[in-house]
Every structure is written in C-alpha cells, then in structure tokens.
A and B are shown apart, each in its own frame.
Chain A
Amino acid sequence: MKPLLLLILGCATLCAQPVEGYIFDSVTGAPVAGAYVALHGATFNDRILRRSDGTGRFRFEMPDAANGKLIAVSRAGYLIAHEPVASLPADGSPLHIELTPEAVISGTLEDEDGFAVEAALVEALHWENGKLTRAGTVSRTNDLGEYRIAELPAGPCYLRVTPPSGSLSPVWDRRYVPQFYPGVLEANDDNVLAVEAGRERTLSFRLRKYEGVTISGQLIVPPGAGAAEVTRLVYARSVDVPEFGAGPAFPDAKTGQFTITHIPPGTWVLTSNATGGRVVAQQTVQVGTADATGVVLTVADEPGQR
C-alpha cells in the first residue's frame, strides 16, 4: 500500500505561508477524520506529521524552504488518489483533498472436503502496462479460511489463491495447486471480477484438486563443472503471472534423478541455481495430459554463464 503522494510544486510561493486543507471522502463527501497528513522535506525523515481533526481539517504552520516538497495522506479504508498538482491554490486558501474509499474482496475458502483452507495466500491481480500485477493488499486465510483483500482500486481484477507451501502451515494435499477464482488454472474473461470504490464484494469458494502429471528426469553435473553444490531444482510455471506454482525439487545426490508430481498443464521452467543464485541449468517443459519423462538438465561447465 502506498499513501497518497501529492507533489507540491511552486514551493517558492507556498512555503512561506501556512498550508491548510480539508480531507473528504470522494464518494460520500463526508470529512475524513484521523487521516495522517505528512509534509515531507528533502529526506524521508525530514517531515512534519499532522492528523486531520473531526472536520477533516489539517494545518501546517510554518513550512520553510527545507519542507513542503511533498504531502502524503493516508487513512485506513482509503487508497491512493491523484490530485492534480496544478490545483493546489497558491494564495494560501485551503486545499481540498479527496480520498477514494477502498474496494474490498472478502470471503471464505474451503477444500473439497469442506475444510477451511488455512494459511493460503490470496491476492488480487490486475492488468497494468500489459502485465498482471498485484493490486491491493495480500491476505493470508485464517483458521476459518477467511481472507480479506483491501485497498483495491475500482476496476477488473482476478483473484489468485496459493495454498500453503509448508513453512507456515503443513501442506495437506499437494493436488491443491495455485489457482484462480473460482478454482480454475487460467486468468481469462470467464473469471474476471469487477470491484467498485467503497464496496465490499464477498466471494466464498471451493479450491479444486488437480491431479496433474509427473515431470521426471535427471540433473547432470559434468565432471569439472564446479557445481557440485547444486542440490535442488526450482520449478515455476512460465506465464505472465508472477510466482505462479513455484516450488523446489530435490534431485538424488548420487544419480541426479528427480521427480516432481502434481504438475498441472502449462509451460513450466525448471531451473538449477548454484550457491549465490547463479542459474547453472535451465529447461522448459510443456506439460499436457501425459507425464513428462526423461527431462535432462545439464549444468553449464562455463562458471560465468547465465
């Protein structure tokens, strides 16, 4: 979440006099009390903080030349609003800042047994500059399977669920692969959602089990490759969605044989990293309805190769 960042230009005219303003809800028009209003200077730590009072009013007495570069306004339940910089009055009359209420998606996740899905990561994705990126807050389901994504901008989005991967809560069944609302593997026109400012949408649904297929093969470390420390593979689905269905696999220390189960259809990338993260082997696998066997990754013998 980012606070509203409001650039004040023309500091020469503004800085000499008090800065005063009022904050309103852009939907209801009501004043917003208790909003944080920060007047930033040249550095992040150089700033003055005020809170709007019961009438939505705030005031900075003496912004000198070192201050008054930036005003940040934040309040729980509201999100970024872009105030045209030119609209700031230069004559010292009060600013009128509107905060847009957040949109919210909340609900409950259960699995095919009717059990609550706990510790799953739930996030909203929307298209931004041709890529699917995260919008609003990220939520982890609680013990009741409840999630709540807040601070969403109005507009279309997709809901993605990544079931727990082991560190926070044990994996009950690996067949519950990462998926989109309402239990599908792809984000497309059929499962796009629309949210409105100041509205909460409730979406409770059931995750689906995907048997998937098995990818198996061998990680070959040629003599002298200098990558004896390679002990694991990382597999990730290669789509224009970040971090979708990633996980580790552990090749046999002696033979290099590996098996990755419950992989749903799609394009998958297997990567082997040396210590320090350098990629030393990579292989792309098209997964359909049949097991993919005999996948071979050969560790590059050129230490500097990417």
Chain B
Amino acid sequence: MHRFSRFIAILLLLLVLRSRGQAQAAATATLEGTIVNAVDGSPIPGARVKTGQQFAEPLYARTDEKGHFVFTGLSLGVYYLVAEAPGFLRNYEASNQRSPRGLLYLASGGNAPATADIDGVGTLTRSPGAHEALHATLAIRLTPYAVITGKVTEAHGVPRAHCAVAVRARQTGSAAQVDGLATVTRVFTDDRGEYRVARLRPGAYYVVADKHGQWMTTRRVMRTTYYPSALDVASAKPVQLAAGEQVRADIRMLVERGVSVSGTVVISASDSAAVGQALSARMLLCQPAPAGKMPRPPATVADFIEPIDGRFEFRNVVPGEYTLMALTRAGDDRQGTPVSAALQRVAVDEDDVNGLQVALEPVRDVHGTVKFAPGCAAVPLRVTAHGSNSLGVSRVEVDVSAGGEFTLRGLTPARHSLLIQAVSPDLAYWLTAARLGDRDVHRDGFDYPVPQGETLQLTADCRKTGAGQ
C-alpha cells in the first residue's frame, strides 16, 4: 500500500517536472478542502492545516465553521499536507505513519486521474481542464484518538514514580515480540505515579508497567506488571478503546520477592480414626476464580505443598487475594478417597502471613433436589458436578430418580460447575436454575466445601413437544 502510493508519488513528480517545462511561468494553483470527523462526518471548525514544498517555508491555514480551508496562489509543484485538530489523530497518523508520506500533485496537464485517494492525506479532486489556474479540492477525514490514563502504585498505595509504562497491542510481523505483542508507545509516570497515553487508534491494548524505573534503588523490587495486576499477558486484561474514548487503567505492581504464608492444618482425630490409616494432605493457593470461571492454575502463584506435622508454608507469594485449598486423602497416594477438606480466603500484602489456622472439615455429602419445569415429565436424570484444580480433577455423577432427590459424594475442594442430562439419550433436559442455600449458583458454579446444612435446588427444563409448539 505504502510502496504503491510512493510509486504514484514518484510518477506524479515526473509528470510535474515534465509539465512544468510546458506551463506558463505565472500558472498558480488553488488548494481548498474540508476537514470532517471520520466517525460522524461532521465538519471540524478551527482545525489547522499546513502545506508546503520540501525545503520551502510552510503555509498555514485554519478551517472555518464549515470545516473549510483554502490556500491560494500556490506555485505548481509537489506538496505535503498535514491537518490536525485537538482530540483527533493527524491525517497521516490514521494509517499509522509517523510523518506525512503522501504527496499532493498540483500541476496542470499530464495524465493524472481527476480524483485520487492519497495515502495519509485525503481524497484529492482536480478540476478538469483548468490550465492557468489549477483548482484542487481535498477531502480530509480525521479520526478522534483514544486515551488511556492511570496510576501505577506499589504496596501501601505508594505511587510508582518514573515508571516506564508501555502500551502494547497484538501484532504480526517483525515488530511483534515472543508473546505476539508489539509496543505501540511508551511513557513514564510522573511523581504521583500518573501516566497518560494519547493518540491511540481504536483497538485492544495491553498496558504494562516496567520494573525498570528511573530509580536505581528500587528497580529490583518490583516485577514487570500488566494491567490490572498480572505477571503475564495471559492473565492480563486488555483495554478496549473505541474512537475518541478515554479509559482509566490503574496498575498495582507486584513485588519481586513475595512473602511467606504459613500456618497449621488442624486435622481432627476422628477423621484419621474413622479411616484407620495414614492420611496424605495437599494444599494449594489459588487466585480466586472470577465469576463463572474455574480457579486459575496456581503455577504462577505458589506450588502446592504437603504439610509436615500439620504445618505448612508457601514461599514467595506476591500480594493479592487468594483461595487456600486443602484436601486429605486416605493412604499416601493421590488417588485415595477424600477424607477432609478446607477452602479459605487469604489476603496477602507485603508482610508475611503467619499462624494461619486451616480447619479441615470432613468431606461432606452435598444433598439436593431437582424440580421439573411445568410441562416436563419427571424422568430419571444424571447430575454432574465438575471441578478442577491442581488437587485433581473431580467429576462426580449421580443418577436422580424420578422423585428428584440426589446426593453428591466425594467432591474435592474446588469451584464446581453443574450439569444435568436425562439418563435416556432420547430425552433433552437441561439446567435452568440452581441454588445452593440462598445463592444462585447456576452460571458461576459453587465452591466446595459448602456450609453445613446447605442443599442444592436445581430446576430442569425439557424440550416440549406437541401442544403449544
């Protein structure tokens, strides 16, 4: 595209040089045009335009209320043209150029087309047949630019000053890094940790605060952190920008070395007595699951560990909100029957978390009932609770009699999603509502262990046939 426009420009230049020799010395050109908002087509008053020939003093103009500008008495030749207005990308920036590359051919004669789209400038229309006084009209469309602003902070809400903030976007080609992103632009935070990145074209962007600040004393303390507080692109949140939109993206930086989270697991004697054999225990620390999603794998957070004598420690935990999960199984392998479990919220800041008491509760059965939507026959159903984390995948199925009661056994600590289907493959039944206690768990699933005494209430719907359809 650019190569083509440059080719055209050179071609036009040759034509200019040829026609110059033939043209009268007094021949001049008038260049007028309009500048409009590329989004809604409205004229942009007060925009300013600069044009000129290389090495010559530029000429300046402003648009009137109708977005109209005019240059008169131009000598024939090849011109560049820059148009700008507050809040808009410059005419050449819309095609991701750093400087104007498209050139205007202002000369009579030759075989140049009457109308041409000039890359990065606008659409040029030359009046046909004008010889002594060439008249050219330019239509320029400017796109409002988007802006990302934000504040970069460390623990205690202390602003991160002089921090390099890069705005990155998915890109293919040589500019892209290993992670498929290329840096669009880079700014530094001020002494308040505030930054502002403007002149962004619509799109999705990742914002990343670099650990290498300007302060030598602090550069090793923080980790390069993506918005909002993520260590890699996969867990970062892209910022979606429409034309002219301004979005705030505050970044909480993560520390280079995390803290220790330690405590004791309380395994009740009755548990081990009930099983009558050795127990193996596993724990892990997960970032809490966003609504409707499984907990993230803990690999970036902390490895799960085996408590020794009921004491446990996670090292190098970076600040954040976590879910601590624990599970004991009968025997010393990972396939043993789950015996007791715990699920606990832990908030980690910049200080060690010591003396956590994790009370394991016996793995409990979860009872529930299924109601049938009006018009649906009560048929045998199968309920599946599916949970997954590094403690293992748990998939518990139970067949429900037509009476509607069921019991899920052997669940492991995790966020579980629910599914129902008819036992008969010929019938189509699905879950339309699910409550645990007084909570809606239909879309997001439920966390196990559940509070004692809470039961699941499911509603099944079916494909209705016959009357009414």
Contacts and interface: CB of A to CB of B under 8 A. Distances in A.
Interface string B157-169: 1111110000000
Categorize the interface residue count of chain B: 35 or more
B241 to A, nearest CB: 14
A214 B160 CA distance: 46
Contact of B156 (A1, A33, A102, A146): A33
Interface stretch (A69-77, A223-231, A291-299): A69-77
Contacts of A261: 57
Interface in A10-46: 33-34, 36, 38, 44
B73 interface: no
Interface stretch (B108-116, B214-222, B295-303, B442-450): B214-222
B71 to A, nearest CB: 16
A1 B58 CA distance: 40
Interface in B122-163: 145, 147, 154-162
Given A143-B199, A170-B99, A1 B215 contact: yes
Contacts, number: 80
B362 to A, nearest CB: 41
B82 interface: yes
A151 B156 CA distance: 21
A116 B272 CA distance: 74
B196 interface: yes
- In the complex, which of the residues B57, B160, B190, B221 has the most CB atoms of chain A within 10 Å of its own CB atom? B190
A170 to B, nearest CB: 6
Name A's interface SS: loop
A3 B199 CA distance: 34
Contacts of A139: 190
Interface in B146-202: 147, 154-162, 190-193, 196, 198-199
Nearest to A52: B156
A76 B160 contact: yes
Contact of A150 (B191, B198, B215, B221): B191
A291 to B, nearest CB: 14
A176 to B, nearest CB: 12
Contacts of A205: none
Given A76-B191, A113-B48, A170-B82, A34 B154 contact: yes
A243 interface: no
Contacts of A143: 145, 147, 196, 198-199
Nearest to A106: B190
B215 A74 contact: yes
B306 interface: no
Contact of A36 (B48, B99, B193, B221): B221
Contact of B158 (A3, A33, A115): A33
A127 interface: no
25 contacts: A1-B214, A3-B215, A34-B157, A34-B158, A36-B221, A49-B221, A51-B155, A54-B156, A74-B215, A74-B217, A76-B158, A76-B191, A77-B192, A115-B84, A116-B86, A142-B196, A142-B198, A143-B145, A144-B198, A148-B191, A150-B161, A150-B191, A170-B99, A172-B50, A261-B57
Interface of A: 1, 3, 33-34, 36, 38, 44, 49, 51, 54, 72, 74-77, 102, 104, 113, 115-116, 137, 139, 142-144, 146, 148, 150-151, 170, 172-173, 261
Given A49-B220, A72-B217, A76-B193, 19 more contacts: A1-B162, A1-B214, A3-B217, A33-B158, A34-B155, A34-B156, A44-B216, A49-B217, A74-B215, A76-B191, A77-B192, A104-B191, A143-B145, A148-B190, A150-B190, A151-B191, A170-B100, A173-B58, A261-B57
